[in-house]
Amino acid sequence: MKSSIYLFMICGIFFAGTGVVYGFFTEFTELLGFPALLLLGGMSLMIGVYLWLTDRRVGRQPQDSEHAEISDADADYGFFSPWSWWPIACAGAAAVAFYGIAMGWWIVPFGAVLGLVALVGLAFEHDRGDHAH
C-alpha cells in the first residue's frame, strides 16, 4: 500500500503544479484545462490521503512485504452464483437504457423497468426455490 500512497501523492502534487503552470501560460483565460488539472490533482491527493489513513489504521499489509506470498493477500470476495442468469438480464436492461439515451428518450423507461426487475431478481435469487438459504 505504501507504493500506492506515494504514487497518488506524487501524481496529486504533479497535476496541481501542472495546472498552476498551465494557468499562467494561458493567462487564466482558458477555463477548461486549468480547473480540470487542479481537480485531477485534488482527487489524486484525496485518494492518497485516504490510502494513508487506511494504512495507519490497518497496519502492515502483505503487499508491503517482499517475502509475502500471493495467497497472503487472498480474501473472501463474497458468494457468486455461476449458474445465475440475472447478470445477463441486468446487462440487457443497461443496454436497452443506453440505447434509449442514444436513439430516443422514450426507450429509457423501458430499460429502467427491465433493470429494476433484473436487480430485484438478482438480489432475491437465493430466497426461494432449490437454492433458498
- Domain assignment present for residue 38? The answer is yes
Q: Say yes or no: 109 and 58 in one domain.
A: no
pLDDT at residue 90, as a whole number: 96
Burial class of residue 63 in the structure, from the number of CB atoms within 10 Å of its CB (0-12 exposed, 13-18 middle, 19+ buried):
middle
Around Cβ 21, how many Cβ atoms within 10 Å? 12
**DSSP label at residue 130:** G
pLDDT at residue 24, as a whole number: 94
- Domain assignment present for residue 131? The answer is no
Give the domain extent around 21.
2-64
pLDDT at residue 131, as a whole number: 59
Q: Say yes or no: 96 and 59 in one domain.
A: no
pLDDT in tens, 37-67: 999 999 999 999 999 998 888 877 777 777 8
Q: How many Å apart are CA 115 and CA 88, to the nearest integer?
A: 11
Q: How many domains does the chain have?
A: 2
- Domain assignment present for residue 71? The answer is no
Q: Say yes or no: 96 and 54 in one domain.
A: no
Question: Which parts of the chain sit beneath pLDDT 50?
Answer: none
- Domain assignment present for residue 133? The answer is no
Q: Say yes or no: 59 and 101 in one domain.
A: no
Q: Say yes or no: 94 and 60 in one domain.
A: no
Q: Say yes or no: 8 and 47 in one domain.
A: yes
